[in-house]
Amino acid sequence: MLFCSEQFLLFFTLVFVAYWSMPWRQARVYLLLAASFYFYASWNQWLALIIGVSTTIDYFVARGIDSSDDPRRRKLLLSVTVIANLGLLCYFKYANFFLQSLETAMHAAGSTTSLPLLKVILPIGISFYTFEAINYAVDVYRRQARAERNLAHFMLFITFFPHLVAGPIVRARDFLPQIRRAKHWDWARMQLGAQFFLLGLFKKLAIADRMAMFADPVFANPEQYRTSAAWLAVLAYALQIYCDFSGYTDMALGSAHLLGYKLAKNFDMPYASSNISEFWRRWHISLSSWLRDYLFIPLGGSRGTEWQTTRNLMITMTLGGLWHGANWTFVVWGVLHGTLLIAHRAFREFCHIRPRLKAMLDTFPGGAARIAMTFLSVSLAWIFFRATTFTGAAEMFHRMFTGQPGMGPPLHKQSLIVLALVVFAAHVAATSGLWRKVALRMPAPVLGVSYAMVLTLALLLAPDSGKAFIYFQF
C-alpha cells in the first residue's frame, strides 16, 4: 500500500493508536513487527516469507560471526551472508537481465541460441533490505557493532515498515539501540513527525505526480514532441524524481517519528549543490554513504594513486547505477556520474593552483553558475535513468539539441513553472536557514493553519490518477 493511499492512512492510524495505547515496550516491538509483515504482505504474501526467512538466516549468521574469535571462521560466515544476500538480489533482480544480455551478445556473435527466462517476481524493497543486512553483517565483522541477540529486534530493524520498501538504508548501530530505548509520548516529536509526513505528501501529490504528467508522455514517444517540450519533460523529470523519492523519504521519516523512531536524513537539498561531489553528499545519502563505506573504501577509496581512485570511483558508481535497475541504461547513468565525479576531481585540482579562478567561482554569480551547471548535468544524466532504451534516450537528446518540430508539452506549462518556482523557493528558504527562523518564531496557531492549508493544497493538486513511488521498482 502506498504511503499516500487511504489504506495506508487507515493502517497507520490503527497501528499508531494501538502502539501508544500499549505501555509495554516489547509488546510494541511485536506490534510493529506484525504491522511490518502485514504491510509487506499487502504486496505479496509469498515474498513476505522470503524476507522473513532471509532475515532469520542473517540473524543467526551474524551471531555466529560475533561469537567466534577465529578469523577464518568469521570471514567465512561473513562471505556466506554477503553472498546469500547478493545472490538473492541477483536472482530476483538481475537474473533475467544477465540472461537477456548474454543472449544479445551471443546473437551479435552469430549464434541463434535462445536462453529461457526465469519467471520471477521482483520482491519489493529487496535492493534496500539486502543492503541493510550486508551492512549489518560487515559492521558485526568489523566489530563496529555487536550482533543483536533478540530475533524480534533484528527482524524489526530489517522490516520496519516506514523504511522497508524504499529506504533510507538504515545502519544497525543507529536503529537497534532505539528499539531498546523506552518511548514516551512527546508532542514536539509528534509535530515533527506530522510535519515531515505533510511535506512528503505535498512533494508526492502536488509536485511529483503532476510532473509525471509532463514527463511520461514525452519519454514514451519523444519523436512526437518538439524541442521545447523535450526540455520541459527533462526539467519535469528532474523535479519528479526528486520530489517523489524525497517525498517518500519524508513520509518514512515522519511515520517513524510518530512511532518514536528516528531515521537518518536521506536528502539535503541536492539541487542546491554546486558540484557533483556535493550532489552525492546530498542525494540519497543512505545509499551514497553505504557505497562509500562498503564498496569504495574497501576497494581502496582515494588512498592510492590517482588511477586507483579513478578506478574505484568508476566501479562504485557503475555498480551504484546497476543497483537502481536491471537495465544497461542505469549502468550508463552510473558511468556518467562516475565520469562527472572524476572530472570534478580534476577540475578541483585545476582550480586549486589558480586562486583567481577559484575566487571567481566563489562569488555569488560564480556560485549560481556552478549550481546551474550541476543541475544541468544531473538533469541530462537523468535522461538515461528515465529512458527505458538507448534509442529512447538518444531520441530525447536529438529532440533537445537540434531544433525539432512536433507537439507541445502534454499539459499547459503554467503548473510546471509555478511548481518549479515553489521547489526553487523552498531550496532557497531551507539552505539560507530562513525557514527555520520563520518556523520557530511563528505562533503555534499560525503554523497549524499553514499546515492545514498546505495539506489542503496537496489534496487539491493531486492528479486524477495516483502513481506508485519511482523507487519502489528498485
Any idea which residues carry the catalytic annotation? 324
Smallest separation, CB 294 to other proteins (Å): 37
Q: Which is nearer to other proteins, 138 or 206 (CB)?
A: 206
Binding span for other proteins by CB under 8 A among 91-99, 270-278, 306-314, 449-457 = 449-457
All cell numbers assigned to 211? 510532473
Shortest Å, Cβ 385 to other proteins: 24
Q: Which stretch binds other proteins (CB under 8 A): 24-32, 318-326, 339-347, 442-450?
A: 442-450
Per-residue CA distances from 373 to 133, 364, 379 (Å): 37, 14, 10
Residue among 467, 469, 466 nearest 166 (CA) = 469
Q: Which of 189, 226, 311, 358 binds other proteins (CB under 8 A)?
A: 189
The nearer residue to other proteins, 6 or 70, going by C-beta atoms, is 6
Least distance between other proteins and beta carbon 186 (Å): 8
157-186 mask for other proteins (x: CB under 8 A)?
-----------------------------x
Residue 86 is a binding residue for other proteins (CB under 8 A): no
Instruction: Determine if 94 is a binding residue for other proteins (CB under 8 A).
Output: no
Please tell me whether residue 461 binds other proteins under the rule CB under 8 A.
Answer: yes
From candidates 6, 110, 112, 402, binder to other proteins by CB under 8 A: 6
| Secondary structure class of 42 (helix, strand, coil) | coil
CA 470 to CA 4: how far, in whole Å? 14
| DSSP string covering 315-372 | HHHHHHHHHH-SSHHHHHHHHHHHHHHHHHHHHHHHHHT-HHHHHHHTSHHHHHHHHH
What length does the chain have? 474
As measured in angstroms, the least distance from the Cβ of 1 to other proteins is 15
Q: Indicate whether 1 belongs to the interface with other proteins (CB under 8 A).
A: no
Q: What is the DSSP letter of 271?
A: G
Angle at 328 between CA 326 and CA 331, to 5 degrees: 90
DSSP code of residue 146: P
Cα–Cα distance between 200 and 174 in angstroms, integer? 23
Q: How far apart are CA 52 and CA 29, in angstroms?
A: 16
Contact string 398-427 vs other proteins (x = CB under 8 A):
------------xxx-xx------------
Q: Which amino acid is at 117?
A: L
Residues 281-320 that bind other proteins (CB under 8 A): none
Neighbouring-strand partners of residue 407? 225
Minimum CB separation from other proteins for residue 452, in Å?
Answer: 4
Residue 89 or 458: which CB sits closer to other proteins?
458
Specify whether the CB–CB gap between 247 and 208 falls below 8 A: yes
Determine the 3-state secondary structure of 64 from DSSP. Answer: helix
Nearest distance from C-beta of residue 214 to other proteins, angstroms: 10
Footprint on this chain of other proteins (rule: CB under 8 A): 6, 186-192, 194, 213, 410-412, 414-415, 444-445, 447-449, 451-453, 455-456, 459-465
